[in-house]
Amino acid sequence: MTYPYQIKTLQQYHEAFKQSEENPEMFWDNVAENFVWHKKWDKVLDWNFTEPKVVWFKGGKLNITENCIDRHLATRGDEPALIWEPNNPNEETRVVTYNRLHKRVCQVAQMLTNLGVKKGDRVCIYMGMVPELTYAVLGCARIGAIHSVIFGGFSAQSIADRLEDAKAEYIITCDGAYRGNKEIPLKSVIDDALLGNKVVKKVIVYTRTSTPISMIKDRDFWWEDEMEHAEKQVEKNGVVSFPAVSMDAEDPLFILYTSGSTGKPKGVVHTVAGYMVWSTYTFVNVFQYKTGQIHFCTADIGWITGHSYIVYGPLSAGGTSLMFEGIPTWPDAGRFWEIVDKHKVDILYTAPTAIRSLMGFGLDYVKGKDLSSLKVLGSVGEPINEEAWQWYYKNIGKERCPIVDTWWQTETGGIMISNLAGVTPHKPAHATLPLPGIHPILVDENGNEITGNSVSGNLCIKHPWPGIIRTTYGDHERCRTNYFATYPNLYFTGDGCMRDEDGNYRITGRVDDVLNVSGHRIGTAEVENAINMHSGVVESAVVGYTHDIKGQGIYAYVIYEGSHHEQNLTRPDILQTVSRIIGPIAKPDKIQFVTGLPKTRSGKIMRRILRKIAEGEMGNIGDTSTLLDPNVVEEIIKGVI
Ligand code: WT7
């Protein structure tokens, strides 16, 4: 496949950027020409950031699965769309050609239709990283059902909240999932999430671990049985077909929940056409993808990175996407390098937390692995520190491979600020330059633009791009207040950012009450709410602190008044409570019991002070005179763990 919109030189980058600035409509009109439409759009863009309202490719009709599958069948039908590497290296790899993917996705579409799923219905997907997860996602998209994938690490309570918010009527899950030496009982978690739920009608269960599970009559259905039945319907005389539903450009494609500063996760909504164009455009340009290359994105499809750079971007580009079921450190810390060697991976896209963790295991695990197939390395999810960058560059890329440091968010749908591999220069620890169509601006607290170079401020974006968030599901006002109200006429990212002397951007981290733990976004309020559920906890305050591997660790200050239990016993109980309410990813790394929290006279917790203490910067606490009780601070410092 050729990509006429692929930028190949530095000069072309500057030209594309300029065009996207001068005439964004013409620019995106040209890019969108490279996709399959049932009906072309009447207007490229209609927008205002006050409501906000963003309409890309107005009046256009299409189905994203025809772009991800059908259009490649004639030329790439027998080429691999997916390569699946199991958790256990002794189990066999599965290679899924475009023809096979087409058949499976048609089957899923038929199966869902048979079970009553219609366009616009919400389908929650809670599965491990098996190819069937990709079939499920694309099967929904084929019939216009809105998928909402939930990461396998979330608890029953988190799933229950998300099901309720999305008013989901259908679930696709697995009996269990393998992750390293653990088995996650997915179906059993779903059963717990469904206690008291009256909205979910049907649950489809794919067999992965063969763990015993309960199957409820008329509610639970086996994937294998339903797919077998569907196969007979979609395949006639060896020809497979299932008509792709014609979707409006702005019909919702999926909901993906993510944390914000409040206690309640937000359902970020992306729509069909804009998301497709943006995920594909960014995939092809940032990674400089060439047809036939093997792209290995190590994320889970439960996060936006997996949506955009395992499923939609690579497949829409007719690429080969490697899906890995397991974790980087099992059976040992050489697992990624072994996969690169075994499958001759061209592009490796992973997170700084993984790099730092593998760095800690030493070079023995890299030794003897042939990494010469690698051409491009990528980083995503959090700022990459210089040390990790250098290690990655030297030991994995052997100083041959450019590293793309890709800054973006669930809400942006695809990569926003990044170098383009080998085309625009990389700079350690810098995301560098915006993609064409992205116009970052830095503002101060009062919303005044900070111009010039060698400056820092809050990162905003000033013009819509095709992949921008459209709404938060069921609550448009929330979308407005969260992203478009802080600074008028700007999309506010929640990130702090520096612009260096050459105009390169360096993202420094969140400026709101959101933590980034191992590249996963967690709201401090959510963790506090969960801790406060524990009997005996009176109040808590959660902040982030610098963690060698996770990037940020979770530090919890807890006022505890239960007398029946020793505090040593209470710590694990609190961890258990957080696991139950949110999931293991939100467990605090440190819990300090305190008798009071630093509060202003109006009762607001001063997190700035708690952050300083958690970072060990006791000498640099700053002004405490506005506190209700400044002594609290002394006491907390004495009790630091
Ligand atoms: C937040 C978004 C979208 C990727 C997965 C995370 C941080 C992301 C970078 C980077 C510095 C980064 C930001 C952002 N972040 N990539 N290359 N350099 N920070 O998605 O859960 O929506 O989190 O991750 O703070 O706001 P997410």
pLDDT tens digits, 268-277: 999 999 999 9
Q: Residues, the chain, total?
A: 641
Helix extents (H) in 393-436: none
- CA–CA separation, 539 and 558 (whole Å): 6
Cis peptide bond N-terminal to 440, omega within 30:
no
Ligand 1: centre distance to CA 41 (Å): 32
Tell me the pLDDT band of 624, cut-offs 50, 70 and 90: confident
Tell me the pLDDT band of 625, cut-offs 50, 70 and 90: confident
Asked which of 84-93, 343-352, 551-560, 564-573 is least confident by mean pLDDT, the reply is 564-573
Tell me the pLDDT band of 641, cut-offs 50, 70 and 90: confident
SS3 of 172-196: the string is EEECCEEECCEEECHHHHHHHHCCC
Looking at residue 271, what is its pLDDT? 99
- CA–CA separation, 402 and 420 (whole Å): 9
CA 379 to ligand 1: nearest atom = 17
538-557: per-residue pLDDT in tens? 999 999 999 999 999 999 99
Locate 228 and state its tokens: 């077998």
Looking at residue 523, what is its pLDDT? 95
SS3 state of residue 258: strand
Does 641 or 18 have the greater pLDDT score?
18
- CA–CA separation, 161 and 364 (whole Å): 44
Element (H, E) at 461: strand 455-461
Ligand 1: centre distance to CA 1 (Å): 30
Q: Nearest CA to 145 among 171, 115, 121?
A: 121
Q: Is the CB of 16 under 6 A from ligand 1?
A: no
222-274: per-residue pLDDT in tens? 999 999 999 999 999 999 999 999 999 999 999 999 998 888 899 999 999 99
- CA–CA separation, 434 and 50 (whole Å): 24
> Which residue is closest in CA terms to ligand 1's atom 11?
383
Q: Measure CA 639 to chain center.
A: 37
What region, left, alpha or beta, does residue 489 occupy, with left being phi > 0 and alpha being psi -120 to 50 degrees? left
Exposure string for 191-207, b = 16+ CB within 10 A, e = fewer: bebbeeeeebebbbbbe
Mean pLDDT of 39-46: 98
> Which residue is closest in CA terms to ligand 1's atom 14?
409
Burial of 62 (0-12, 13-18, 19+ CB in 10 A): buried
427-459: per-residue pLDDT in tens? 999 999 999 999 999 999 999 999 999 999 999
Mean pLDDT of 29-50: 98
Q: What is the DSSP letter of 388?
A: H
Q: Nearest CA to 421 among 573, 295, 591, 510?
A: 295
Looking at residue 260, what is its pLDDT? 87
Query: Residue type at 462?
Result: K
Q: Is the CB of 24 under 6 A from ligand 1?
A: no
360-402: per-residue pLDDT in tens? 999 999 999 999 999 999 999 999 999 999 999 999 999 999 9
Helix and strand counts by DSSP (H, E) for the chain: 20, 33
Q: Supply φ then ψ for residue 258, to 5 degrees.
A: -145, 160
Q: Is the CB of 517 under 6 A from ligand 1?
A: no
Query: Is 168 a residue whose pLDDT tops 90?
Result: yes
Q: How far is CA 263 from CA 195, 477, 604, in A?
A: 22, 16, 16
Residue pair 526/259 in contact by the 8 Å Cβ criterion: yes
Burial of 569 (0-12, 13-18, 19+ CB in 10 A): exposed
Angle at 493 between CA 488 and CA 499, to 5 degrees: 100
Q: Is the CB of 307 under 6 A from ligand 1?
A: no
Ligand 1: centre distance to CA 25 (Å): 27
Looking at residue 563, what is its pLDDT? 64
Q: Which of 255, 389, 521, 526 to mutate to test the pocket of ligand 1 (most atoms within 8 A of CB)?
A: 521
Q: How far is CA 230 from CA 109, 337, 460, in A?
A: 9, 39, 47
Residue pair 42/236 in contact by the 8 Å Cβ criterion: no
Q: Where along the chain do its domains lie?
A: 514-638
Rg over CA atoms, the chain = 24
* CA 212, 213, 215, 220 torsion-angle sign: negative
Looking at residue 220, what is its pLDDT? 98
Q: What is the DSSP letter of 243?
A: P
Q: Domain 514-638's class?
A: alpha beta
Residue pair 592/557 in contact by the 8 Å Cβ criterion: yes
- CA–CA separation, 7 and 108 (whole Å): 36
Which residues neighbour 117 within 8 Å (Cβ) at sequence distance 6 or greater? Answer: 123, 140, 143, 145, 169, 170
Q: Is the CB of 410 under 6 A from ligand 1?
A: yes
Q: Nearest CA to 246 among 85, 53, 65, 103?
A: 65
298-325: per-residue pLDDT in tens? 999 999 999 999 999 999 999 999 999 9
